[in-house]
Amino acid sequence: MLPTSNRRMWLRGALASVLVPAAAPAAPAQSAHLTFAQWVAAFRPRALRRGISEATYDRVMGGLKPDMAVFALQRAQPEFTEELWQYLNRRVSDWRIIAGQEALKQHAALLERIEKDFGVDRYLLLALWGVESAYGDPLVQQNYMRPIFPALAALAWGEPRRRAYWEKELLNALVIVERGWSTPEEMRGSWAGAMGHTQWMPEVWLNIGRDYDGDGRVSPFGSPADALAGAARYLVERGKYRRGEHWGYEVRGGAGSSGRMRRYAAWQAAGVRRADGKPYPRPQDEARIWTPVKGGPTFLLGPNFFAVRSYNPSMNYTLAIVHLSDRLRGEGPFVQSFPGGERAPTLAELKELQERLTKAGFDTGGADGRVGTSTMRAVRAYQKKVGMEPADGYAGLKVLARLRQGR
């Protein structure tokens, strides 16, 4: 996870690193016009002052080649755009709910212990884990992550706007190696340096991470214990998460957006009731109202919604996390649909869609019910061929219906 000021930049670039073909990198603005090798030598005293040993610095930085692709990835824009309902359907998918329920069974004791120790709802942590790394799926690590030292070093050397930030994160990463918590080979992540189950930046790894499995080191890799405990600690310490409070609720009888926090009891008195008809379980807690899309569902957002938002300063991302947490808990989809939206396809429907696309000559990279870049590109190519507008790459029910028609 990144500090708020940098998280949005990482999200844009991380998505681009998955969705955009690598472009030829432009020449970086090199530090004081030094070659990379000269810059590595000049940066060495600063690392030693930070407590990095000469042996560690030379082992990590000696002979290192800068990852020049990061400059293009940093500037790249995603090739697909999504409506909010599409964004939510992809992240709160049938696959992610089923896989999350399996992960809950497998890690029930760990999640219960974290909930007891930190007060963070286990389903919320599970949802964050699911969205950040598909519950630690090794394919995510293998296919979409890159060695972070060549990436951070390239940015610290050649990216002038945030050079101080990249230099600090490179130093933080070196401290992690110096402490023996990880190795350069293990430290693979995004082009921006976010790593592991819950996408830690080096600064978060050092300052928020927890050795929760008691193996003598802090790590976001391997066992999810450290990563999930660290994420819970982040939500509490930096997001001010409140034990026992729900993130909020879908409601009826209100609309719009307001910065005013009012008690649920006051909202109830004003005619704003839960969309599922249930009572507010803690009527003295406070929330504010939000309608993200006119004509779509309206929500009351409590402080814990904004605790999650501290992890990523995107309202849409946060809504996806909290909605997935409710679905993992066994609750249903939103009562009010989004204008122009459609329900999320089931796992079986997505597999069928992928199978039909593949038979029609559009390679989806497999038929597993998970929508990645290959499936989105195949959908868009099919949409263009048959004249479906917009050709947005969304693998939904309209595309499946057209495929079933065999034309």
Distance CA 205, CA 392 (A): 37
- The type of residue at 295 is G
Tell me, what's the pLDDT at 222? 95
Q: Is the pLDDT of residue 37 over 60?
A: yes
* Sheet containing strand 273-274, strands side by side: 262-263, 286-290, 298-301, 248-252, 273-274
Tell me, what's the pLDDT at 150? 98
Q: Are 246 and 282 in contact (CB under 8 A)?
A: yes
Segment 116-137, tens digit of pLDDT: 999 999 999 999 999 999 999 9
| Segment holding 249, helix H or strand E | strand 248-252
| Segment holding 113, helix H or strand E | helix 108-118
Homologous superfamily in CATH for domain 4-78+146-194: Bacterial muramidase (1.10.8.350)
Q: How many helices (H) and strands (E) does the chain have?
A: 19, 7
Domain ranges of the chain: 4-78+146-194, 84-138+211-243+313-341, 248-301, 347-404
More confident call, 162 vs 33? 162
| Segment holding 301, helix H or strand E | strand 298-301
Segment 354-393, tens digit of pLDDT: 999 999 999 999 999 999 889 999 999 999 999 999 999 9
Residue 154 has a CB neighbour count (10 Å cut-off) of: 26
Tell me, what's the pLDDT at 239? 98
Segment 172-212, tens digit of pLDDT: 999 999 999 999 999 999 999 999 999 999 999 999 999 99
Fold of 84-138+211-243+313-341: Lysozyme (1.10.530)
- pTM score of the predicted model: 0.90
